[in-house]
Structure 1
């Protein structure tokens, strides 16, 4: 009897269980070798579908193939437990033995979970989902367990080969744990488990996709070295071309070139965690790319990943780099998942190629040479539920990861962020660049970032900051309060003095109100907020830039999304009081290239902003106000001005001190920190103590991580949001229409990438309101939501009332 793992939809050709297990092992070994755990990852690969060696599964798969319109009941066959059970029964019995038990737990959990998410070793109910699964002897398919194991040893690896392989994995585990690292053993094993899980999921889905597309199973050749050499030459041609420009020898441009040259030279240093504190307008994007390309060539890095706070920066920077490198294909923008799979369990998705299988297999694993993504997506890779998230983790190793505007790390995620970077630096052979004009004090907190004291790439930083001074900060926030009407008068008065004004406020509500208040004045007026999709925001920014280039009168009213990294320059900026980093970033949108002497940035206090649900902005506002008052009393305090390095350092230390109890990601419902659930020493784990108290005995496990529970509560954006696709312009409407059809995996992958530029995040109450008003439509069996044309406007984007005419076709 031939035991079948998959049946191809197009020609009904079968892939045997043996072939699938060996090919997934090969891919997993390649991924695992990146951090020295080739055999640990390979063990997960070769055992993950062991449960397909059962008559129960074979009956299931052929019934699914032969009856696609009436497939067997989902959840009726468990094929992912057997591999974990084999490891448990052979290596996790009798007297506790550290390394075999840990190996069985790490690899076994990955196998058990490869169709959902990692199991809790111990959870809030003081039960172990892992132990429940591996001890199971009752389920129908596990009644065949002995025969399943015999078939594996007869067809895939004999027992002697298997034991040698396990011994090699144990030696890798010992070496992994002995490697010097700032992390505790609990931290090391947490990230090892996540890494092995990532390698397994990507190897499994990649092999399945290649079989379904009838493509060779061999890994694609690595072209990164050749590509990066070509990219470096093109980039240097671009940098050298600046020398022919009229103002090439201006002090600012000379300084830009010096910092760029410094990045090139510094790139020859070993991989590590470094800061790149180039001031706003200092050519940060090109300088960091120059470092990344040079370092990648010198140290064999496979990809360059830019992590940014807002999708606005992705569009701009990716477009700039594509233009310089003349390569559209190999620069990937990853704004969002579009499809969320956090709560999916696809245990029984073998048989006829279902829609769910297609989007599971769609290529979404960050295997491009250059990637732009967001801080939300980066943190989700390590800590959020969903196979699509963690699948990408192994591709963050052997990389240069540039954190553009790193000060935007959400405060509750600071410790989690630091641990992730410490892992990538110590084990992942990645070089990590903290790139911003306003460096946060990430080494000030308890779970600190392991960055050297001399890790700053820019030399003589205080002198550089002074040389780039282009604005004067005018404090109106401590002098008087502004409402929308008074702010309108102030903006119009300033527009009488200059050609362009940018107003940045803290909430979408006051942005919208100010926009409406300014409309009757007849000025060229634009609105920007996260209610607009990325393509819409880009269009608005392009229009504004065109007016700025023509020196026409223009006012732009925006939320903070315009602050970080958007290459745009206004004559005057008005910023509502917020954190010092936000004020500094807003100031970077004023007189950006220093061509107008010194311009004014006004800090005002908008009394109508409701910051009740924005604690970081509220606390940041209080600390900035304190600095402003200190400077009034003593002009030499805090380095003598609001944007000094000393002021910024004091600001972040105060901010992190104020949020000290929340830096480890506090989970109110559980009344526990996330770090306590996933990185606490065994005997200190909160659920271990409760278990001991209740059972009066120790739980027979070395690992205590509550993987699934922690992931279920993890959200970078505190309020639960849903991504919806919006019908912006012709392409947005076409994407929605096409996603309603029957697409191939390749076509679906392309559509999902395109759709990222046409998505908006909606809070739950917004989604419910739109649904009541008939503004939502369901696509891909409910996996994707889109909004109707009448629910999206040219001025504000998402319209919750769903009553305005759809006018975007004129663009």
Structure 2
């Protein structure tokens, strides 16, 4: 008898359980082999659909496809418990050895979770969701499943040998860390195995459904071509008439230092090129050379804002002359909140298409955001963690790394340490304002000679193009005062950029300037209430006006600061963290095209920051530093943007947030790190379990993966991605979603949709729904604004004090 895993929708072709298990096993092995997890990941693939070897599931899938009116309820047949139960009965009962029991726990959790998210080994209620499934849940055809598996796929002796190989792979991961860090290591290993299983399962199912064969692209050959094209670009720069200006000579020198550093072994390095120093080109030079020397699979750029993604990706595409292999991943346009999607087995539903759509980061060069990177490791949802294994054997470039949210510092550091120590990845931390990531308790494991730029203090001094003028410690200003001050600046310069901390004051200033301005000066407004395509159109018009010496004023939130390649004669920055002021200064006289220009720091009285704690604390620390430097002009060498001042700023910031650095969860009165690493202290769930039951937890791993994921949000107020009807592109996209779409086309559409999305807070989403301004697709998995709910002037417009600092999707 042929047991069935899937039936293709287009032609009713059958994929047997045997074929599916062996094909997923092969893919999972491929994902795990480079870092020594071939059999651990392969074991998960081999047993994940073991439960489909039952008459019950065979009847279920037949009925679902051929007799849908009489079919059992979707998801009524549990097929994801059996494989983990097999491992538990073989390895975790009598005569068990700890190492094999650990294999049962690591791999078993991945298997029972492959239609949802990793389960808690121990919950806050002192229950084990893992044991509830693998030990306590009865499966009445379990013996028949074993018989069918051993007869068709692999006999008992072969499985024992395979498990032994998996066990031998797990031991080095345990032995490579101190005893106190073993639970942390189990957490990362389990998540890696889970990632490999999710991607292998969905990839194989998609390939079967689309009747395709897997591709094995040669990224090495592609990187060689890229490197040649980059070299051609560098030669063109050296022959440019402006190549010998002081700043361009400095840029060239730092770029050469990046190439020289690429020969060093994999590790964590810093690239502290000053703002406007050519980080994108220099880091690409490092990445391509390092990939070729050390056989890396991909280069991943992680940035704080979507604005930088489009700009940097376009710059890289232009240099490498490739539009197909460079992936931009801005946001999760598709909602991924199903706790269990096992009900999707059977016929190919719209939700099934979304689940299988290819968005797994297997491209050679990827641009994504800090939110998406952190979500891969810590957020709930299989769509996020599916991408984790692709971070191995990679070069990961963090652009503007100082924008890591303070509460996520420890989580960020631990993820990078795992990637460096266990996944053969190289990390490059790029910014003009390096955060003190080794100053916190959960330190980043970085050597003292990690900086690539030589004589950094001298380079910062040589790169100085602006004077920071402190007006913030004199008095606070109103919007009307700011209008007058802008007018004064326009009497001497052609262009002014004003960066404020909240969208509300940005809009207010923009509207007031519009009322008092003649036709000779162009006024622009920027915020993340506009979709990426909208912002890019504005930036394009702005650059054109700047090139043509047309007087311009740009009023923007923080989004313009991080990496946007644009230059103004004068910048006015509302008082905030010192790193933000440094980034704003990078938009003034960016290429040293003029003599020293001014950046004014003001204190805007009308900004409401009570709900924006990180900005408010950063503002207070910067104020103290400004006052100290006003009292003593030689303090810190007299340069407010020096590396020494930045180190002081970040150390004071992290001290101010000492209780938040490990992601404190008020509802549980615990840190996220505690849930993920399960320390055996007096306040732990393990100790509470002992006290309640007068017994030990019958498990080796006691982490609370799902509870942690349910409480993890990079931004405090969860937002929802919504597609907007901006211009022809957005409107056409929404129209396409109304039609019948294949999985292959859906993946392309979702990538394109990222340029036409904004992120709405819940109260904003509720308001739009109330006013009938929202349409939904794929059973509410994708949202779009109706026409009329989006403005070509302000984008989505709802009153409220919010900062673009939190919009990093």
Q: Normalized against structure 2, the TM-score is what?
A: 0.97
* 191 and 685 in structure 1: CA distance in 2 versus 1, 3 angstrom threshold: farther
Deviation at 1:729, TM superposition (A): 1.1
> What is the aligned partner in structure 2 of residue 170 from structure 1?
167
| Partner secondary structure for residue 184 of structure 1 | helix
Deviation at 1:343, TM superposition (A): 3.0
> What is the aligned partner in structure 1 of residue 60 from structure 2?
60
| Partner secondary structure for residue 789 of structure 1 | coil
* 536 and 67 in structure 1: CA distance in 2 versus 1, 3 angstrom threshold: farther
Deviation at 1:668, TM superposition (A): 1.2
1:209 aligns with 2:206: yes
> What is the aligned partner in structure 2 of residue 469 from structure 1?
464
| Partner secondary structure for residue 538 of structure 1 | helix
1:688-767 alignment, distance < 5 Å: 688-767=686-765
- How far apart are the structure 1 equivalents of 2:528 and 2:761? 12
1:546-625 alignment, distance < 5 Å: 546-625=544-623
- How far apart are the structure 2 equivalents of 1:634 and 1:308? 36
Asked whether the 8 Å contact 1:682–1:703 carries over to 2, the reply is no
| Partner secondary structure for residue 344 of structure 2 | coil
1:300 aligns with 2:298: no
Asked whether the 8 Å contact 1:116–1:386 carries over to 2, the reply is yes
- How far apart are the structure 1 equivalents of 2:652 and 2:494? 38
- How far apart are the structure 2 equivalents of 1:348 and 1:77? 8
1:252-287 CA-partner distances (Å, limit 9, x unpaired) = 111111111111111001010000000111111000
1:622-657 CA-partner distances (Å, limit 9, x unpaired) = 000000000011111133221111100000000001
> What is the aligned partner in structure 1 of residue 419 from structure 2?
424
- How far apart are the structure 1 equivalents of 2:726 and 2:509? 24
1:385 aligns with 2:377: no
1:165-205 CA-partner distances (Å, limit 9, x unpaired) = 00111111112222358981111111000000000000000
| Partner secondary structure for residue 188 of structure 2 | helix
Asked whether the 8 Å contact 1:682–1:702 carries over to 2, the reply is no
> What is the aligned partner in structure 2 of residue 187 from structure 1?
184
> What is the aligned partner in structure 1 of residue 670 from structure 2?
672
- How far apart are the structure 1 equivalents of 2:465 and 2:662? 38
Asked whether the 8 Å contact 2:39–2:166 carries over to 1, the reply is yes
Aligned residues: 796
1:325 aligns with 2:320: yes
Match among 500, 507, 517 for residue 502 of structure 2: 507
* 183 and 793 in structure 1: CA distance in 2 versus 1, 3 angstrom threshold: farther
Asked whether the 8 Å contact 1:471–1:598 carries over to 2, the reply is yes
Asked whether the 8 Å contact 2:301–2:396 carries over to 1, the reply is yes
Q: Which has the higher contact order (CA 8 A, sep 6+)?
A: 2
Asked whether the 8 Å contact 1:183–1:422 carries over to 2, the reply is no
> What is the aligned partner in structure 1 of residue 805 from structure 2?
none
| More moved, 67-76 vs 317-326 | 67-76
Match among 410, 427, 433 for residue 405 of structure 2: 410
- How far apart are the structure 2 equivalents of 1:257 and 1:187? 42
- How far apart are the structure 2 equivalents of 1:212 and 1:4? 14
Asked whether the 8 Å contact 1:6–1:14 carries over to 2, the reply is yes
* 470 and 70 in structure 1: CA distance in 2 versus 1, 3 angstrom threshold: farther
- How far apart are the structure 2 equivalents of 1:510 and 1:69? 58
Asked whether the 8 Å contact 1:310–1:374 carries over to 2, the reply is yes
* 324 and 183 in structure 1: CA distance in 2 versus 1, 3 angstrom threshold: farther
- How far apart are the structure 2 equivalents of 1:588 and 1:694? 58
Match among 152, 172, 184 for residue 155 of structure 1: 152
Asked whether the 8 Å contact 1:331–1:371 carries over to 2, the reply is yes
Deviation at 1:87, TM superposition (A): 0.5
- Root-mean-square deviation (CA), in Å? 1.3
Asked whether the 8 Å contact 2:177–2:185 carries over to 1, the reply is no
1:339 aligns with 2:334: yes
1:21-79 CA-partner distances (Å, limit 9, x unpaired) = 00000000011112101101000000000000111111111111124467532331110
- How far apart are the structure 1 equivalents of 2:704 and 2:683? 10
Deviation at 1:742, TM superposition (A): 1.6
1:38 aligns with 2:77: no
| More moved, 252-261 vs 406-415 | 252-261
Match among 215, 224, 234 for residue 220 of structure 1: 215
Deviation at 1:781, TM superposition (A): 1.1
| Partner secondary structure for residue 157 of structure 1 | coil
Deviation at 1:350, TM superposition (A): 2.0
> What is the aligned partner in structure 2 of residue 808 from structure 1?
none
| More moved, 278-287 vs 631-640 | 631-640
Deviant stretches of 4+, over 6 Å = none
The unaligned stretches of length 5 or more in structure 2 are: 800-809
Deviation at 1:375, TM superposition (A): 0.1
* 240 and 70 in structure 1: CA distance in 2 versus 1, 3 angstrom threshold: farther
* 68 and 464 in structure 1: CA distance in 2 versus 1, 3 angstrom threshold: farther
* 89 and 629 in structure 1: CA distance in 2 versus 1, 3 angstrom threshold: same
> What is the aligned partner in structure 1 of residue 101 from structure 2?
101
1:418-468 CA-partner distances (Å, limit 9, x unpaired) = 000000000110100000000000000000000111100000101100111
| Partner secondary structure for residue 165 of structure 1 | helix
Deviation at 1:681, TM superposition (A): 2.7
- How far apart are the structure 1 equivalents of 2:637 and 2:146? 69
* 615 and 593 in structure 1: CA distance in 2 versus 1, 3 angstrom threshold: same
| Partner secondary structure for residue 247 of structure 1 | coil
> What is the aligned partner in structure 2 of residue 199 from structure 1?
196
| Partner secondary structure for residue 791 of structure 1 | coil
Q: Normalized against structure 1, the TM-score is what?
A: 0.97
Deviation at 1:297, TM superposition (A): 0.1
> What is the aligned partner in structure 1 of residue 133 from structure 2?
133
> What is the aligned partner in structure 1 of residue 652 from structure 2?
654
- How far apart are the structure 1 equivalents of 2:722 and 2:589? 36
Deviation at 1:220, TM superposition (A): 2.3
> What is the aligned partner in structure 2 of residue 806 from structure 1?
none
Asked whether the 8 Å contact 2:75–2:344 carries over to 1, the reply is no
Deviation at 1:799, TM superposition (A): 2.6
* 612 and 402 in structure 1: CA distance in 2 versus 1, 3 angstrom threshold: same
| More moved, 654-663 vs 682-691 | 682-691
| Partner secondary structure for residue 343 of structure 1 | coil
- How far apart are the structure 1 equivalents of 2:727 and 2:200? 37
